[in-house]
Amino acid sequence: MGLMGRRSLDADEGLLLPGTTSIHMFFMRTAIDCLFLAPPDGEGQQQVVGLRQRLRPWLGVVWYVRGAQDCVELAPGAVEQAGLRRGALVRLEPADAS
């Protein structure tokens, strides 16, 4: 289901979709940014193998991204704000439960 049905996503939030190499924006209410990540290396980092910015609700489709193992959906503008590019290394950490 991803973020379908949510009205927005806070700037500091993201949703990991493990095993996801493509997405669609049908039934989405808000634009999003997406990172497509390679499998983790030995240090727990993942390389950005694809990214899409400001995918529009209902219109955006991202077909299979070669080399991707996971997708992270982010608030629109998050990719630009973080300065992420293809080839960048990221480390995902679980949200604080408190």
Asked if residue 98 belongs to a domain, the reply is: no
Q: Count up the domains in the chain and report the number.
A: 1
Distance, in Å, from the CA atom of 42 to the CA atom of 17, rounded to the nearest integer, reads: 21
Q: Which residues span the domain enclosing 68?
A: 14-90
The answer to whether the predicted template modeling score (pTM) of the entire model surpasses 0.85 is: yes
Locate 74 and state its tokens: 């982010």
Asked if residue 23 belongs to a domain, the reply is: yes
Q: Longest C-alpha distance within the chain, in Å?
A: 37
Asked if residue 8 belongs to a domain, the reply is: no
Residue 81, pLDDT score: 94
Q: What is the pLDDT of residues 26-71, one digit of tens each?
A: 888 889 999 999 999 999 999 999 999 999 988 878 899 999 999 9
Q: Which neighbouring-strand residues pair with 44? A: none
